[in-house]
Amino acid sequence: MSCKPGEPCHEGVKRRRALAVLGLMAIIFVALSAVSFLGSRGQAVPAAVHYAGFDAVQGKRVFQSYNCMGCHTIVGNGAYFGPDLTKLYGKVGPAWIEAFLPSAGSWPTSGAVKLQLQDKAIAAEAGVDTIEAYLEKYPAAAERIARRGAHATLMPNLPLSRDEIGQLIAFLKYTSEMNTEGWPPTPRVDGLAFPQATPLPAPVRQAALQPAEEAGAAAAGPASAAAHGAELAEDNGCTACHAKDRERLVGPGWGGLYGSEVALADGTTVAADDAYLAQSILDPDARIVAGFEPGAMPSFAEMLDAGQVAAIVAYIRSLGEK
Amino acid sequence: MIRIEYETQRLSLRFFMVMLVLFFFQTGFGLLLAAQHIDPTLLAGTLNFNVVRAEHTNLGILWVLSGFIATILFVGPLLSKRELAAAWLIKVLFYALLAVVAWNVATQALAQQGVAGWWMGQPLLQEGLEYLEAGRIADVVILIGFAILCYVVLRTFPPLSQWNEIHWGLGLGVLALTLVWVFGMFFVERLDLQEYFRWYVVHYWVEGVWEVIHIALVGFLLVLMFKADVKSVGFAVFWGISLVWLSGLLGNAHHYFWIGTPEFWQFWGSLFSALEPLPLVFCFWHIYLDAHQDGKPIANMPAFAFLLGSVVLEQVGAGILGFTMTFALTNVWSHGTWVTLSHAHLALFGTFGMLGLSAAYFAVPVMRGATDFDQRPGRLAFWLVFTGMLGLAFAFAIGGTVQVFVYRTLGLDWFGGDVAPAMLFAKAMVPVFGIVFAAGVCLLAYDLLTLGLRERPAARDDTALPAPAGWGRRLSGWETGMWLLAMWVFGAVITLGLLSFNLHTVQQGSALFPYLIGGIGYPGLLLVTLFFVRRFLRSLEARGRVSLVPLELTAMPSPAGAA
């Protein structure tokens, strides 16, 4: 493979031969490629996947718009800052992702997932309509709620709209249905039993797994409605979107809210009294605060009774002076 | 060469300067990424990780391309023995490059708001695909830029009948550069099909195009540095390019293992990409031969050091580390983890980045008329970036091995709670070596930007040169072969370490084998690399002391027999 000065090296002939072999390689490559995308393979395609009326192709656009691949991986490609998303939908189910995405800065609690299951379309996609059945069907969601519920995540809150969230979940449903030839490999052991897993104290784990009402009822006492409200707010996932101070996370901060004048999207103002706050919990879209989108917050009418709403309002009132 | 032969060669200077500035900022973004890995809340919501990473990868590509363009413009007239065609177009290319850089840096931040600028189904502003983050507007401008480069190169070259193998390499290289880019310019609905085409751009760029341009330019730089015979170097360039394309065309299959394409790709990918190191071994051997065809002192040590670094890191980063994770049975574990980062950083910066830096150290002093420049900052900068990058590769490899075990074997997927804490030691090593690297970048950027413009130092002190004994004794072909063998032995160890993840005992939760084997393989490979380059450079530096002593030419391996 050397050619000394002055020797005839027949470069032209060799170059043509190399190009011929290269052409053969290209034919093999093109043939393999053509076979790879035949419809008869039965590979999932996004055009055929829908989630609660949302389109997986639109979801792929959302996925690219937010450069999700810049932190996560998908089919193993991307950055390695966050976990791979390919099989997430199948593991944690739609209601957990629905609870997570609007307020990505904190991990969903069981109350927040339960709230999503009130939505018939989400429950239909999940195939179950109670939180107990959901956690049984999606053990990865149960594990996440138990270990991480209500903790801060390392992901920033993103300005995702309701539609974008639905579309993204449709895309994740599609990738979850893809045949990726056995990747990622299935673990053969329960990783939680190893010292590498962050342990949680047993009582915390149990409390987090209990449905919100029971936990709330157990803690309910006449002593302090505000303290009860604080617990309810955490259990139901309110604090994922509402900060204790004035900071805007996903929704408005609760600090200093009570008794203040709130500017509404229709240009009017309203005093943040008990009635207004209760209505905002039970029917959030009735009066939208200026600068926020309708539909961002779900209704808690099915989740909380009048006493629990009053307790949460009492908690918000207690933050009023901050 | 001590002065410019063709006036239009000077057009390369501005591209070299842009390359240095972009390299500086890319390193800065890299340091920021390292800090965000340690504290993920750093700048979260202000400058999110994905935006910083997009800037880091994009600037990385853009400065490497600037280096290529600069080098091609510098050697183009020498190769063609005439001035560059259409000098005004090159000035247009320069401003287009500046515009695209500014535009692209600005538009990447839109990902935080989820704005991609969809129009007629295409993302105009940014498209959120790894390495191809640039939106369609930037894509089109880049395509025009490549077309200008093609036009200038092909118009400058002599008629086809007079092309030597270096002309063929560069000519095909710039054409393929433009052609392959087109595959990244469409929105694809299917994820598997989109990844399939994304690797057309990414893999065929590095493996098919950049590698070809790299081989051709390394060949010609060797001709310039050692007065090697163009015809024999050209013949080696021909073989290098043939091997690259014959292994790399089907070698792309190693990207099609897990993206939703059929299982048969695992066979083709494992087979052909295992052959991909062949041209790199070939190139490695040739830099040894060309550097030893006579015993004259090296006139421009920084330029040669970076060229050697380029070829050696190509061997180690692209060749050996690429080889370790190219088999379906190892790739199933390394895929999607920090293990791949180790390969990517060494291969991309090492092979292509160092080539641009070598060319800059060769060309800038000539263009500024300062061939007796002070070489000490350049040599120091080489060692800083070289050891810094080897250290980074070490940190990524160790972090990756831990990540594979915790994330894949144990199945723990809480990055904040389980995976990141387990990787913390490796994550902390990244900024440590990153600072060493960044110090080198600052030094070389300052040195090259001001070379020939700042005050000349006193004459060189030759007593600092090493004695031609010990590390400085002549490097024989046999010894070089032993160093290369040692690198591959450690490469085999690393491969076994990745394979060991398939063992039953590892699957049952014992990390002993992968940690132990990886703990031997990675430091072993990187230290051998470090010491080999030191040995090589010391032996060449010692020539300054022995240049008057006649050499035993009989002791040198015959190029024909060895290759």
- Nearest of B95, B21, B32 to residue B59 by alpha carbon: B21
- Taking only residues 328 to 357 of chain B, the set having a beta carbon closer than 8 angstroms to any beta carbon of chain A reads 332-333, 335-338, 341
Q: Is the ipTM reported for this complex over the cut 0.90?
A: yes
Computed on alpha carbons and rounded to an integer, the radius of gyration of chain B in Å comes to 23
How many residue pairs bridge chain A and chain B with CB atoms within 8 Å of each other? Answer: 263
B559 and A156: CB-CB below 8 Å? no
Alpha-carbon gap, residue B170 to B158, rounded angstroms: 13
Highest mean pLDDT of the ranges A100-109, A297-306, B433-442: B433-442
B116 and A64: CB-CB below 8 Å? yes
- Nearest of B202, B161, B167 to residue B183 by alpha carbon: B202
A263 touching B (Cβ < 8 Å): no
Which residues of chain A make contact with B109, given a CB cutoff of 8 A?
none
Instruction: Give residue B294's pLDDT.
Output: 81
Distances in Å between the Cα of B148 and the Cα atoms of B88, B143, B177, B206 are: 11, 9, 12, 20
Nearest CA distance, B481 vs chain A (angstrom): 17
B197 touching A (Cβ < 8 Å): no
pLDDT band, very low/low/confident/very high, at A215 (cuts 50, 70, 90): very low
pLDDT band, very low/low/confident/very high, at A202 (cuts 50, 70, 90): low
DSSP track, B139-172: HHHHHHHHHHHHHHHHHHSPPGGG--HHHHHHHH
A18 and B246: CB-CB below 8 Å? yes
A191 touching B (Cβ < 8 Å): yes
DSSP track, B210-221: IHHHHHHHHHHH
Instruction: Give residue A319's pLDDT.
Output: 87
Closest CB to B114 among A66, A78, A80? A66
Alpha-carbon gap, residue A112 to B29, rounded angstroms: 37
Distances in Å between the Cα of B463 and the Cα atoms of A38, B456, B458, B535, B543 are: 70, 19, 14, 19, 12
Instruction: Give residue B559's pLDDT.
Output: 42
Sequence-separated (6 or more) residues with CB below 8 Å from residue A191: A197, B406, B410, B411, B412, B418
B50 and A71: CB-CB below 8 Å? yes
A187 and B129: CB-CB below 8 Å? no
Instruction: Please give the domain boundaries of chain B with CATH numbers for all domains.
Output: 163-293 (no CATH), 302-451+467-546 (1.20.210.10)
A46 and B231: CB-CB below 8 Å? no
Bridge partners of B134, per DSSP, are: B126
Nearest CA distance, B314 vs chain A (angstrom): 20
**Which residue in B38, B42, B50, B246 has the most chain A C-beta atoms within 10 A of its own C-beta, making it the best mutation to test that interface?**
B50
- Nearest of B452, B259, B439 to residue B367 by alpha carbon: B452
Q: Considering chain B, what is the average pLDDT of its residues? A: 91
Q: Considering chain A, what is the average pLDDT of its residues? A: 88
Instruction: Please give the domain boundaries of chain A with CATH numbers for all domains.
Output: 46-177 (1.10.760), 212-318 (1.10.760.10)
B523 within 8 A of B295, measured Cβ to Cβ: no
Alpha-carbon gap, residue B311 to A269, rounded angstroms: 69
Nearest CA in chain B to A168: B114
Helix B191-203 × helix B165-181 angle, to 10°: 150
pLDDT tens digit at each of 563 positions of chain B: 667 889 999 999 999 999 999 999 999 999 999 999 999 999 988 999 999 999 999 999 999 999 999 999 999 999 999 999 999 999 999 999 999 999 999 999 999 999 999 999 999 999 999 999 999 999 999 999 999 999 999 999 999 989 988 999 999 999 999 999 999 999 999 999 999 999 999 999 888 888 999 999 999 998 888 888 888 888 888 999 999 999 999 999 999 999 999 999 999 999 998 988 999 898 899 889 888 888 888 889 999 999 999 999 999 999 999 999 999 999 999 999 999 999 999 999 999 999 999 999 999 999 998 888 899 999 999 999 999 999 999 999 999 999 999 999 999 999 999 999 999 999 999 999 999 999 999 999 999 999 988 876 655 555 577 888 888 899 999 999 999 999 999 999 999 999 999 999 999 999 999 999 999 999 999 999 999 999 999 999 988 775 544 444 334 444 443 33
Instruction: Give residue A218's pLDDT.
Output: 47
Sequence-separated (6 or more) residues with CB below 8 Å from residue A177: A44, A49, A90
| pLDDT 10s digits, A109-163 | 999 999 999 999 999 999 999 999 999 999 999 999 999 988 889 999 999 999 9
B12 within 8 A of B74, measured Cβ to Cβ: yes
pLDDT band, very low/low/confident/very high, at A209 (cuts 50, 70, 90): low
Nearest CA in chain B to A24: B246
Instruction: Give residue B470's pLDDT.
Output: 86
Instruction: Give residue B307's pLDDT.
Output: 95
| pLDDT 10s digits, B88-108 | 999 999 999 999 999 999 999
Instruction: Give residue A321's pLDDT.
Output: 59
| pLDDT 10s digits, B279-302 | 989 889 988 988 888 888 888 999
A4 and B560: CB-CB below 8 Å? yes
Instruction: Give residue A74's pLDDT.
Output: 97
Between A201 and A181, whose confidence is greater?
A181
- Taking only residues 229 to 268 of chain B, the set having a beta carbon closer than 8 angstroms to any beta carbon of chain A reads 229, 231-232, 234-236, 238-239, 242, 245-246, 249-250, 252-253, 256-266, 268
Alpha-carbon gap, residue B45 to A249, rounded angstroms: 11
A154 and B415: CB-CB below 8 Å? yes
A29 and B417: CB-CB below 8 Å? no
Alpha-carbon gap, residue A305 to A232, rounded angstroms: 11
B249 and A29: CB-CB below 8 Å? yes
